[in-house]
Amino acid sequence: MARWNKSVLNPEQQRSLKLEVLYKVAAAAFRRNGYHGTSLIDIADILGVSKATLYYYVKNKQDLLFQCHLAAADQALETICTDPSLNGLERLRRSLVAYVISIIGEDSFSVVILEERSLSDEQLRVVIEKRDAFERRLQDVVRTGVTDGSILRCDPKFAVFSVLGAANWVTKWHRPEGAWTIDEIAQASAALLCRGLAAGPLPSYPSNRLYGDQQP
Amino acid sequence: MARWNKSVLNPEQQRSLKLEVLYKVAAAAFRRNGYHGTSLIDIADILGVSKATLYYYVKNKQDLLFQCHLAAADQALETICTDPSLNGLERLRRSLVAYVISIIGEDSFSVVILEERSLSDEQLRVVIEKRDAFERRLQDVVRTGVTDGSILRCDPKFAVFSVLGAANWVTKWHRPEGAWTIDEIAQASAALLCRGLAAGPLPSYPSNRLYGDQQP
DNA sequence: CGTTTTTTCGACTTGAGAGTCAAATTAGCA
DNA sequence: TGCTAATTTGACTCTCAAGTCGAAAAAACG
């Protein structure tokens, strides 16, 4: 990736395109080395730009992290499935598949694995509020499942914590060059986790060599 | 906690006791603020000691992190259940309970949630080797379960990744002052995750308000 | 072209934290 | 008590990275 990775040539949205690339690169670097372990020079080098240039786009390093958090929160919210024709369990499964893909995919802004103490109090407040909103939406999906009988009776908050934990952790061990594709991982994770919450007879998931492949 | 927290008064093992306290305090600080986000002064302050004193006990900051990793690896290894009278699923469940308790308990050395790039190549090699050993032992438990029919056919490596992911993530959201006890969390996590892997009719787990409580 | 506006950068200041060391303090023990 | 070894510390250096700024380069535009 060099020089903003030639992000097209629009006059007006140039800036927001560059910002998006910057956030993705920063998030990826933060994920790898941690917030404090990543210098702005690291990020500038990846973009083929000088450190001073970055300050034309972001207020400071802390704000850069904050922006990553905000972008990631929006990205996460989009993964929630609310299709009313599906039961709670299937909505949860689809949400998880989408979520895992979003956080380990090429376009991830995810910075959930980072220590949160790097943000200011006010920034942290906002981020936590947004994250809570996401988690509450997922909890609602679980509650729907409990009500419609597809999900076992449980504490939705705890269930979401567990399920998101396994999902978020994927960013720690997933290697793009590894044997498993992103889609495989997402499907298998969702299948395993949903099975842990499923109430009745388990729905049959698509065949997957990581999990859920029922043939001998 | 002040001044080595009066760790008894043995002549010879004084040092190792102090080291143990130091590692626990350091690990807790690292978990909270990340490796780079934690200064040795932070740690020294918690111990009620000057920064220079720490250098009497550890070679440098990086080595301190390394020692935490080593201690955590040993701690993790001890959580694996190998009771031959139990089937694989139950062994896995007990292992998970013990593991979760070990990482969020008072005596945790756990630093798994940290970025690994802070270690030297050689240190990282050792840590990864130790962690692999632990994960392989857990994979063996899963394999045992698949063989004895208690666990669904699956990729043991992936299963262990998922299960440990959810477990490790607990360190992110668990609050000692929260409503859930460590034991409750450990039991519920293990129950949920094992259910996701269980093959046949699910064993009944002890009642738990977070998960597995089957009564209406 | 020349002029203006946007974008980039080199060179700088600054602060924080890692790591050192000789001196001071404390503990062990005769 | 005095002597010795173990332990602790204040004061120091040094490096690295955040953040600034005025000038240079590059677009935009007439």
- Residue among A36, A115, A210 minimizing CB distance to B158: A210
Q: Could you tell me the pLDDT band of residue A213, with boundaries at 50, 70 and 90?
A: very low
Output the pLDDT for position B174: 97
Q: pLDDT tens, B63-118? A: 999 999 999 999 999 999 999 999 999 999 999 999 999 999 999 999 999 999 99
| Mean predicted lDDT score pLDDT of chain A | 91
Per cent of chain B over pLDDT 90 is 84
> pTM for the whole thing?
0.92
Q: What are phi and psi of A156, to 5 degrees?
A: -60, -35
Output the pLDDT for position A12: 63
Output the pLDDT for position A5: 42
pLDDT beyond 60 at A16: yes
Mean per-residue pLDDT for A41-67? 98
- Residue among B165, B195, B213 minimizing CB distance to A165: B165
Output the pLDDT for position A2: 35
* Rounded to 5°, angle at Cα B31 from B193 and B18: 115
Q: Quick check: is A103 in a domain?
A: yes
CA-to-CA distance for A162 and A156, rounded, in angstroms? 10
Q: How many domains are there within chain B?
A: 1
Output the pLDDT for position A205: 52
Q: Could you tell me the pLDDT band of residue B215, with boundaries at 50, 70 and 90?
A: very low
Q: Could you tell me the pLDDT band of residue B8, with boundaries at 50, 70 and 90?
A: very low
For residues A205 and A187, the answer to whether their CB atoms sit within 8 Å is yes
- Residue to test with chain A: of B162, B170, B195, most A Cβ within 10 A: B162
Output the pLDDT for position B4: 47
Q: pLDDT tens, B143-162? A: 999 999 999 999 999 999 99
* Cβ of residue A51 lies below 7 Å from strand D: yes
Mean per-residue pLDDT for B3-14? 54
pLDDT beyond 90 at B203: no
Q: Quick check: is B128 in a domain?
A: yes
Instruction: Give the nucleotide at minimum CA-to-C1' distance from A12.
Output: C6
pLDDT beyond 90 at A80: yes
pLDDT beyond 70 at B201: no
* Chain C: bases < 7 Å from a protein Cβ: 7-11, 16-22, 28-29
Q: Could you tell me the pLDDT band of residue B6, with boundaries at 50, 70 and 90?
A: very low
CA-to-CA distance for B195 and B203, rounded, in angstroms? 9
Q: Quick check: is A36 in a domain?
A: no
CA-to-CA distance for A77 and A206, rounded, in angstroms? 25
CA-to-CA distance for B161 and A60, rounded, in angstroms? 36
Q: pLDDT tens, A161-194? A: 999 999 999 999 999 999 999 999 999 999 999 9
Q: pLDDT tens, A102-161? A: 999 999 999 999 999 999 999 999 999 999 999 999 999 999 999 999 999 999 999 999
CB within 8 Å: B192 and A195: no
CA-to-CA distance for B26 and B47, rounded, in angstroms? 10
Mind telling me how many Å the CA of A131 is from chain B's nearest CA? 12
Q: Exposed e or buried b for every residue in A86-111, given b needs 16+ CB within 10 A?
A: bbbbbbbbbbbbbbbbbbbeeebbbb
CB within 8 Å: B169 and A155: no
Query: Identity (one letter) of the amino acid at B154?
Result: C
Q: Quick check: is B49 in a domain?
A: no
Lowest mean pLDDT among A57-71, B7-21, B118-132: B7-21
Lowest mean pLDDT among A72-76, B13-17, B58-62: B13-17
Q: Quick check: is B110 in a domain?
A: yes
Q: Quick check: is A208 in a domain?
A: no
CB-hemisphere CA count at 13 Å for B117? 12
Domain span at residue A158 reads 60-195
Q: What is the CATH number of the domain that holds A97?
A: 1.10.357.10
Q: Quick check: is A81 in a domain?
A: yes
pLDDT beyond 90 at A1: no
Q: Quick check: is A182 in a domain?
A: yes
CA-to-CA distance for A155 and B96, rounded, in angstroms? 19
Output the pLDDT for position B211: 65
CA-to-CA distance for A51 and A193, rounded, in angstroms? 43
B173: nearest Cα among B118, B115, B100, B109:
B100
Q: What tokens does A118 get?
A: 């790097």
